[in-house]
A and B are shown apart, each in its own frame.
Chain A
Amino acid sequence: MISIESLSVQYGRFTAVDDVSFTARSGRVTGFLGPNGAGKSTTMRVMVGLTAPTAGRALIDGRPFADLPNPGLEVGVLLDASAQHAGRTGREILTIAQRTMGLPKARVEQMLHRVSLTATEADRRVRNYSLGMRQRLGIAAALIGDPEVLILDEPANGLDPAGIRWMRDLLREYADKGGTVLLSSHLLHEIEVIADDIVVIGNGRIVAQGTKAELLDAAGTLVRSPDPAHLTSALASAGITTTTTTDGALRTDADPARVGQVALATGIALTELRSADSAGLEEMFLELTAETQREGAAA
């Protein structure tokens, strides 16, 4: 379990992380979502003791990271797959991790196999690796100590679709075995397909957090009818405000059951009624982070 308590990081007058609190629970994949520069990486660096917080603290299973006697056995960390000595081979990088943690030598081969790096690739120097291969190597280094907690910053960057699928299955399996997984991304879809819990950060502040289901509910309802004008007025008289989407469907914050009842009571046929889910979440994400988006409000 990772608990972040009222964490703030300031650089001079600039506040990179502003009073952030959240918990990544064991047995679950927690997605840390936010646009570039929102404070995700800074928060993650504080968790592993690379950056000192201005206020607040980050605890791993109730202890500060620096108090872990052999952190590699308890927390697997991948902050930047490219932060490796370009002149070392992949195998050597894993060997350094294996020896630092005091693990048996065979773990290196096991991990290479686990992340599907061949023996030839493992003997190549990292300067010749693609970003996808570096991510796989980074995952191997994070997993080599069989830790209970995984902290991964943008692990899907540079992976091809099959690689992303592989990563998703791997992290799912990890969490199902009771591990805590925290991964960051600036891509909503990446987080949505894997996370159980989502923490959205923008401008250094948490703007939304909860289980994926909660956030999807909060995203509202999408309803479609052959006669949208009639439906709009029927819903309005029931006190439900709606907005019309570009393709003629109606979106509302009311839950689907309530919308269905109103439609039934007024005898309006519906062609579609569902939680707005991903479309709604994306809209919410863009809205919540609009101030920090370089492109301005929702694209």
Chain B
Amino acid sequence: MTTATLEAPTGTHPVPRERRAVQPIPMSRIVGIELRKMFDTRSGFWLMMSVGIAAVLATGATLLFAPRDELSYGSFAGAIGVPMTIILPMIAVLAVTSEWSQRTGLTTFTLVPHRGRVITAKLVGTLVVGVTSIAIAFAVGALGNVIGSAIAGVDTTWDISLGNAATILLADALGMLVGFMLGVLVRSSAGAIVGYFVYALVLPAALEALSAYQAWFHDHRGWLDFNFASSALYDGGLSGTEWAQVGVSGFFWLVLPLAIGLRMVLRSEVK
């Protein structure tokens, strides 16, 4: 054992290495990577697939169970919209939280040491997936509408205006942003998912009850309850006041906690 330690260190005369000219990592590449990471696990892949699967199932259910004389594009879009409001925010939550829950952040944030860039890339990737998903949902719904009206022998009714389609897209995007916000705020998959269900399912029931008993809350609910205010987007045709309510309640429910969450993500320790 002495021979090993008495050996002259071989590394005493380092050969200086030539330094390469290193180009900064472009933002487009980081977005591409973050998109790839949403698909490259089995769970991620099937979560993405579930968008299409849910759209097809909801369309099928509408074909089978909806009253024939009431078949319209609106009934298909409404049916598909329900699973979308759950799946899309989950995609947003997991895009953020997996870095902490799976501890991949250790690698991600050392390869790109500016966390703001990574989080921005995740946001862009999430919205790309969201818009694509909604486009798929609209397309599947349209196909269902054509098939449904042909089977029923009624005229095909296209009762969703372009403007309404845009507000539906906005409503779904806001839902994804709420998921994203919970992701950066909680930074744990389980916690953020539970948080989203509380926000989307438990809280509306509680506030509905409050609204039934408190006249003041009932009158001002649009300004205070973001979920309530943004649900008007699904029906479209918002008044100026309704738009303002989406903005004001959205500031407190979405923008403010998102800002706090982002600040925490940028400063917290990654372990």
Contacts and interface: CB of A to CB of B under 8 A. Distances in A.
A196 B10 CA distance: 9
B2 to A, nearest CB: 6
Interface residues of B, number: 47
Interface stretch (A92-100, A202-210, A230-238, A261-269): A92-100
B153 interface: no
Contacts of B30: 100
B36 A80 contact: no
A101 B109 CA distance: 13
Interface string B10-49: 1111111101101111000110110011001111100000
Interface string B94-137: 00001000111111011111100000000000000000000000
Nearest to B4: A193
* Residue of B32, B36, B111, B112 with most partner-chain A CB within 10 A: B111
A196 B2 CA distance: 15
B9 interface: yes
Nearest to B5: A277
B269 A52 contact: yes
Contact of A84 (B16, B42, B43, B104): B104
Given A71-B110, A80-B106, A92 B2 contact: no
Contact of B22 (A70, A87, A96): A70
A80 B103 contact: yes
B41 A178 contact: no
A141 B107 contact: yes
B11 A172 contact: yes
Nearest to B19: A148
Contacts of B13: 27
Contacts of A288: none
Interface in A42-84: 45, 48-52, 65-66, 68-75, 77, 79-80, 82-84
Given A74-B22, A83-B107, A27 B29 contact: no
A175 interface: yes
A74 B114 CA distance: 16
Nearest to B40: A92
Contacts of B20: 73
Contacts of B244: none
A178 B25 contact: no
A247 to B, nearest CB: 16
A172 B10 contact: yes
Contacts of B212: none
B25 A69 contact: yes
A224 interface: no
B29 A88 contact: no
A193 B5 CA distance: 7
A101 B111 contact: yes
Nearest to B10: A176
Nearest to A83: B103
Given A69-B24, A84-B104, A86-B102, A176 B11 contact: yes
A179 B98 contact: no
A137 to B, nearest CB: 11
Contacts of B5: 192, 212, 216, 277-278
Interface of A: 25-29, 45, 48-52, 65-66, 68-75, 77, 79-80, 82-88, 92-93, 96-97, 99-102, 125, 141, 148, 172, 175-179, 192-193, 196, 211-213, 216, 274-275, 277-278
Given A26-B16, A70-B24, A97-B111, 12 more contacts: A27-B15, A48-B110, A50-B106, A52-B269, A77-B107, A79-B110, A83-B103, A85-B102, A141-B107, A176-B10, A192-B5, A196-B11
